[in-house]
Amino acid sequence: MTAVGVLQAVANGYEYGFDVIEATGLPSGTVYPALGRLERDGLLRSAWEDEAEAFAQGRPARRYYRVTAAGQRALAEAREYLLALLPPARPARARG
């Protein structure tokens, strides 16, 4: 489930590691390996930002992540799976 949470965070616009950490509440020792596995598996792709731009902002360069088409499909499958685990909705009882 960690991978799904990290993948969903990136899909929601949290583009770099620390951003994902804040969005998910997961520790860095969980998020960064998950990002690496998701990229290795083709569900994410990444690119480093321009170092000069980061330096101008007084911080290290960030590695930005994007969900691939395969990642979008994996998220859709995960949603379907999780929804299937929920109990069926009960019909409302008539009051009277």
Instruction: Look up the CATH number of the domain holding residue 61.
Output: 1.10.10.10
Predicted confidence at residue 4, as pLDDT, reads 95
Structure tokens at 16: 């770099």
Look at the chain and report how many structural domains it folds into.
Answer: 1
Does residue 90 belong to any structural domain of this protein? no
Count CA atoms closer than 13 A to 87's CA, side-chain side.
3
59, 53 in Cβ contact below 8 A? no
Domain of residue 72, residue span: 2-79
Task: Please state the pTM of the whole predicted model.
Answer: 0.83
Does residue 84 belong to any structural domain of this protein? no
- Is the pLDDT at 93 greater than 90? The verdict is no
Name the more confident of 95 and 56.
56
